[in-house]
Copies of this chain bind each other. A is one copy, B any other.
Amino acid sequence: MNRLEPFTEKQLQISRLAKALSHPVRVFVIQFLAEQSCCYSGDLTDILPIAKSTLSQHLKELKEAGLIEGELETPKIRYCLHKENWEIAKENLKSFINIDISCSSDCK
């Protein structure tokens, strides 16, 4: 993809969001935070059997996608879903899955 940009901004947003959610650890973290009333101060490596540096990497990706943020609560960090951006992400996903499919009958 280097000759020209044929994609809409919405399509790029969807693909970026999908990329952020393309690993089970990251899906888990988002769901887990939602279950914890959106924030969590504990150690996620107690729950997830991955190295802390690996978790940090995944959290960084979620941060860069704007889905979560970390608030300092020394010596810990309180991770929270980013409500506003999460709403935007939800709207993007909704409009994507609501695309109308009126398949012809010969199409399984």
Contact = CB atoms under 8 A, between A and B. Distances in A.
Contact of A104 (B20, B37, B103): B37
Contacts of A47: 6
Contacts of A35: 99
A38 B99 contact: no
- Count copies of this chain in the complex: 2
Given A26-B15, A28-B11, A108 B84 contact: yes
B101 A97 contact: no
Contacts of A19: 18-19, 22-23
Contacts of A20: 18
A39 B6 contact: no
B6 A28 contact: yes
